[in-house]
């Protein structure tokens, strides 16, 4: 039999096509990418995210006695015990850097999934790149409602979005009004990115539906050097409740400017972001006694579910701080994506995507106060129940809803 050059080329092509499958079957590690701000104003958020992911990976890669997916046993059994390795990319809070870094993670680092990204504006571009390459993107901590409504097949979010968070905030305000608290007028304060805009839109819609009056709706430029004019407007409006949607540096500047100008609202009800970050309270916590923020996570849950406290201890050993709204969501994102990869028994993007779509994790197998993790046809988990937390005596306590609360709300703020 004569072997032609064409036969050799065809044989080589067939062998090359089989190599990725063989490599996957025998893989000793699964590479996942994460893109976060690791430099610039939001760098601490990115560093904390790394610690959250590392905590989850330690639990997955090693045998641990927790009621979590993949905690017991070593690695991913669906891939022969393969262990997870993370590759991080710094988007610096810039959507275009996020786009480039996501493409690098996929094409050069060969990641099989991407997690991110803190800023919702960056999630827009990162998820578009992931969609193009058919690589799942799990929004670990982005809360803009519009993110899951763009018809993307590879986009998923296990945590609540701002319409869900805002509904919980207004449920709380309704409950306080029934107790005789004056909370009729609202002041919205939000940055000019997709996070701030979507948050304000959700709050405006709910205020209209539930009979609240918005007496100030102030949009400011993110990372503004001064907020004096904006705070003067807030002071003049004198709303019963201030609802800020700001990241950490802007939140610190807001609170400092309020103190300088003598503006003291009866209540602050924040859309988390910077108001869930330790850095903000380290800087201006003495001025925020009684401030309230929405959240995904309640450390108080440890009283009912001891696993939560033990995992918090593991995270604290790495980071020097407790889990918060952001780091808890990041931790769970790693658990959720690893569970899907394990069930897919593959690092193929489409197979992981299908496994993600089939996810159904009971709330008791998470560290969150959620009913479960199950995605709708747009990739959103609608069973992620928010909580409201109040900053009292240097720590957060859960005040709403009633089934999760450990304390009554203090109103007005001190």
Residue 214's DSSP bridge partners are 186
Q: Phi and psi (nearest 5°) for 186?
A: -130, 150
CA-CA distance, 259 to 287, in Å (whole number)? Answer: 8
CA-CA distance, 294 to 67, in Å (whole number)? Answer: 26
Q: Maximum CA pair distance of the chain?
A: 94
- Of the candidates 163, 53, 50, 141, the one whose C-alpha atom is nearest the C-alpha of residue 326 is 141
Taking the whole predicted model, whether its pTM rises above 0.95 is answered as no
CA-CA distance, 104 to 289, in Å (whole number)? Answer: 44
Q: In whole angstroms, how far apart are CA 18 and each of 25, 135, 350?
A: 11, 20, 17
Q: Is 254 helix (H, G, I), strand (E, B) or coil?
A: helix
Q: What is the pLDDT along the chain (414 residues), one digit of tens a residue?
A: 444 444 444 444 444 444 444 333 447 899 999 999 999 888 999 999 999 999 999 999 999 999 999 999 999 999 999 999 999 999 999 999 999 999 999 999 999 999 999 999 999 999 999 999 999 999 999 999 999 999 999 999 999 998 999 999 999 999 999 999 999 999 999 999 889 999 999 999 999 999 999 999 999 998 899 999 999 999 999 999 999 999 899 999 999 999 999 999 999 999 988 898 889 999 999 999 999 999 999 999 999 899 999 999 999 999 999 999 999 999 999 999 999 999 999 999 999 999 999 999 999 999 999 999 999 999 999 999 999 999 999 999 999 998 889 999 999 998
Q: Is the dihedral of CA 84, 144, 400, 282 positive or negative?
A: positive
Q: Phi and psi (nearest 5°) for 177?
A: -65, -35
CA-CA distance, 375 to 358, in Å (whole number)? Answer: 8
What the chain holds in terms of domains, given with CATH numbers, is 16-160+302-383 (3.40.50.2300), 163-295+388-400 (3.40.50.2300)
Asked if residue 276 lies in contact with residue 325, where contact means CB atoms within 8 angstroms, the answer is yes
Query: ∠98-54-65 over CA atoms, to 5°?
Result: 145
Q: Is 114 helix (H, G, I), strand (E, B) or coil?
A: strand
């Amino acid at each position: 039999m004569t072997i032609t050059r064409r036969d050799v080329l065809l044989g080589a092509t067939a062998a090359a096509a089989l190599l990725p499958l063989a490599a996957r079957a025998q893989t000793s590690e699964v590479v996942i990418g994460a893109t976060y701000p690791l430099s610039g104003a939001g760098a601490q958020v990115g560093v904390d995210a790394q610690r959250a992911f590392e905590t989850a990976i330690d639990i997955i890669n090693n045998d641990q006695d927790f009621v979590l997916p993949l905690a017991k046993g070593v690695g991913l059994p669906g891939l022969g015990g393969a262990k997870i390795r993370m590759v991080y990319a710094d988007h610096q809070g810039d959507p275009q850097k996020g786009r480039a870094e996501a493409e690098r993670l996929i094409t050069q680092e060969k990641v099989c999934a991407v997690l991110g990204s803190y800023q919702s504006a960056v999630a827009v571009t990162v998820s578009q790149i992931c969609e193009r390459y058919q690589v799942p993107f799990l929004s670990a901590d982005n809360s803009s409602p519009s993110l899951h409504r763009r018809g993307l097949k590879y986009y998923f979010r296990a945590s609540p979005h701002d319409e869900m968070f805002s509904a919980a905030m207004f449920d709380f305000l309704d409950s306080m009004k029934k107790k005789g608290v004056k909370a009729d007028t609202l002041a919205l304060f939000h940055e000019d990115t997709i996070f701030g805009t979507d948050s304000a839109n959700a709050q405006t819609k709910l205020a209209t539906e539930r009979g609240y009056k918005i007496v100030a709706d102030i949009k400011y430029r993110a990372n503004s050097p001064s907020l004096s004019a904006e705070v003067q407007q807030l002071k003049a409006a004198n709303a019963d409740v201030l609802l800020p949607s700001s990241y950490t540096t802007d939140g610190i500047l807001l609170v400092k400017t309020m103190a300088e100008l003598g503006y003291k609202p009866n209540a602050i009800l924040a859309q988390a972001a910077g108001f869930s970050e330790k850095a903000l309270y380290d800087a201006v916590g003495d001025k925020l006694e009684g401030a309230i923020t929405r959240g995904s996570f309640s450390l108080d849950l440890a009283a009912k579910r001891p696993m939560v406290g033990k995992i918090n201890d593991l995270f604290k050993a790495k980071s020097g701080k407790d889990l918060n709204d952001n780091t808890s969501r990041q931790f769970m994102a790693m658990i959720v994506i690893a569970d899907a990869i394990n069930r897919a028994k593959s690092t193929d993007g489409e197979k992981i995507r299908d496994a993600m779509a089939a996810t159904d994790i009971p709330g008791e197998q998470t560290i969150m106060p959620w009913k479960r993790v199950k995605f709708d046809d747009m990739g959103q988990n609608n069973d992620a129940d928010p909580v409201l937390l109040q900053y009292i005596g240097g720590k957060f306590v859960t005040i709403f809803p009633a089934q999760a609360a450990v304390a009554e709300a203090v109103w007005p703020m001190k």
